[in-house]
Amino acid sequence: MAAAGKIKTGLNGVGRVRRTRWLIPGITWDDKRSDVFNEALSHRIMNTAYAVRWGRVEDVVKSLQKNLSGERIQLSENIVVDMLQRFGDDWKSALGFFQWADLQQGYKHRSDAYTKMVDVLGKSKQMYTMWVLVHDMNNKGFITLQTISKVLRRLVAAGRWQEAIRTFDDIESLGLTKDTETINILLDTLCKEKKVEVARQVFLQYRSDFVPDCRTFNIFVHGWCLLRRIDDAEKAIVEMKQNGIVPSVVTYSNILRAHCDLSNFCKVFELMDEMISVGCPPNTTTYTSVITSLGRLGKIEPIFKIIDKMKSTECKPDIFFFNSLISILGRIGEIHEARRIFNVEMRENGVLPDITTYNTMIAVYCQNSQGREALNILRKMEEEKNPALKPNLHTFGPLFKLILRLGNADKILISLLDGIVNKHHLFLDSDTYSQLIHGFCKVGKVEGAFLLIEEMVSRDIFPKEKKTLDLLLSEAERRGFVDTSQWIKELIKRHCLYF
């Protein structure tokens, strides 16, 4: 491993790094060939894009054209969307693949592929390029409600809520209309980002353009509850009734969660009894929300009361309920009970585990330092014939955390990273990189952390929180790595907009 103090700069002052094939010694790329579109070929596409990650989008396109010119590739929109999903936060490789795919014989992008690419760009805060694609979609008549939903969500998440409102104001030029469905998308986006006051102003501004429905008011109830302003949430319910709309189970569930967060457990049970008395009994989603909130607060006794109440109303648990319950049991160390639910009770209720269930069981074992059991679950996932149950990046997070906490498990870490790349054909995203960086720093393996940030920058991926770069800067300065310190300072300066 090269000395961390030797990281080079360039590429406009930031991010010109060594062109390593992978950041961990011992991991190599599998270079299988295939004449049909399968896992091996998808891996080859990702590998080809990855190899020129330090260049421009055009370089990715050219590299794909050169290396795949002899392949008989039959693309479909589903395949393209799946590939874009696999690139994760690597927007440059994703866009290069997107442009290359549109050049392939017998294939042209439709709405879903465009919308996915728009979402990838928006998530990576590449707003100019995102808008170029949106205008291209508009010219082709491809814009849908889902497209606008992604655009508004990414704008508001980036703090550009005023631009989101202007986009809605101009929505008719994008082929959509100002109606209840479209304004609900904007209101929901604003409220989920806790811009409830702004959402209220938008509601009043466009009140004459639409008729609010149950979802409109539920959005506000949820927004006020996120801010723990239950009085305002209850005012929204009053306004709801004044408009002739009967509160739904979703309405009550939002209020219930807010009371849970404030530890008003007497009010929780009182409100649940009220729901039953007015003919709007809690459903599985309600019970799941309540036990999740209670579990987050470490309130175990009320959870068992909730489960008893659920059984008394003959409300059948679903996959979301079981996933939440397993997670809660793991957090309090009830591993045997979590395992029993996973192996026995779910099946007795006719509920099959999904990818989240498997990931949750891995997290439960890792939280309780049972790495062998966690790896057994991983192997079980890898042996599954159902592709929906194959490991994803969320599968590996708890394993990384446990390995770094225990130390002296470099071989296992390398094996897992090798599996991510060569077996599951996944790209690390910003969250996974950041988790590994913090983990390496915590156990004193700072050179590994510096190589990880190099790898991120070379792929045009940046930490979502400034504290990651602050941590690296602190470690570099403490060790006297002058070049690295300066490089990280420039990185913080250039990409402050991300924070």
In tens, the pLDDT along 383-442 reads 988 889 999 999 999 999 999 888 766 788 888 988 887 888 888 888 899 999 999 898
Amino acid at 118: V
pLDDT above 90 as % of the chain: 60
pLDDT for 23: 41
User: How far apart are the C-alpha atoms of 424 and 418, rounded to whole Å?
Assistant: 9
d(CA 109, CA 366): 42
Q: How high is the mean pLDDT of the chain?
A: 86
Q: Has residue 372 got a pLDDT over 90?
A: yes
Q: What is the predicted pLDDT for the residue at 410?
A: 75
Phi-psi region of 329 (alpha: psi -120 to 50; beta: other; left: phi over 0): alpha
Q: Would you state the structure tokens that stand for residue 393, as one six-digit string?
A: 């990046």
pTM of the model: 0.72
Half-sphere exposure of 304 (CA within 13 A, CB side): 3
Question: What integer pLDDT is reported at residue 19 of this predicted model?
Answer: 33
Residue 498 predicted with pLDDT over 60 = no
Poorest-pLDDT segment among 54-63, 174-183, 324-333: 54-63
Amino acid at the residue 443: V
pLDDT tens, residue by residue, 289-317: 889 888 888 888 888 888 888 888 889 99
Which pLDDT band, with edges at 50, 70 and 90, does 496 fall under? low
Decide which of 479 and 464 is more confident. Answer: 479
Residue 162: both structure tokens together: 């005023």
pLDDT at 9: 31
pLDDT above 80: residue 250: yes
Q: For residues 92 and 60, is the Cβ–Cβ distance under 8 A?
A: yes
Band of the pLDDT at 185, cuts 50, 70, 90? very high
What is the C-alpha to C-alpha distance for residues 151 and 119, in angstroms, rounded to an integer?
7
Question: How would you label 333-368 residue by residue, b for 16+ Cβ within 10 Å and e otherwise?
Answer: ebbeebbebbeeebeeeebebbbbbbbbbbbbbbbb
Q: What is the mean pLDDT of residues 331-335?
A: 90
pLDDT for 209-227, tens place per residue? Answer: 899 999 999 999 999 999 9
**Which amino acid, 495?**
H
Which of residues 484 and 297 earns the better pLDDT score?
Answer: 484
Cβ atoms of 354 and 388 closer than 8 Å: yes
Q: What is the DSSP code (8-state) at residue 88? A: T
What's the rounded Cα separation, in Å, for the pair 476 and 485?
5
pLDDT at 497 > cutoff 80: no
Cα(278)–Cα(249) distance, integer angstroms: 11
Contact 245, 219 (CB under 8 A): no
For residue 55, what pLDDT is reported? 80
Q: How many residues does the chain have?
A: 499
Give residue 249's pLDDT: 93
Question: What confidence tens digit (pLDDT) does each residue in 11-47 have?
Answer: 233 333 333 333 433 333 333 333 335 666 777 787 7
Cα distance between residue 433 and residue 414, in whole Å: 14
Distance CA(403)–CA(413), nearest Å, equals 7
pLDDT at 38: 60
One CATH from 3.30.429.10, 1.25.40.10, 1.10.10.60, 3.60.15.10 for 212-315: 1.25.40.10
Give the distance from CA 7 to its chain's centroid.
30
Chain segment 454-474, per-residue pLDDT in tens: 988 887 788 888 899 999 999
How many CB atoms are located within 10 Å of the residue 91 CB? Answer: 25
Contact 364, 335 (CB under 8 A): yes
207 DSSP 8-state letter: G
- Region 95-119: what's the mean pLDDT? 95
d(CA 100, CA 102): 5
Q: DSSP letters along 150-179, please? A: HHHHHHHHTT-HHHHHHHHHTGGGGT---S
Enumerate the H helices of 281-422 as residue ranges: 284-296, 300-312, 319-331, 335-340, 346-348, 355-367, 371-383, 393-406, 410-418
Query: Which pLDDT tens digit goes with each residue over 54-83?
Result: 788 999 999 999 988 877 788 899 999 999
> What pLDDT score was predicted for residue 424?
84
Q: CA angle, corner 251, sides to 313 and 123, nearest 5? A: 115
For residues 366 and 343, the answer to whether their CB atoms sit within 8 Å is: no
Question: What is the per-residue pLDDT across 227-245, written as a single tens digit (0 to 9) for each?
Answer: 999 999 999 999 999 999 9
In this structure, are residues 499 and 465 in contact, taking their beta carbons and an 8 Å threshold?
yes
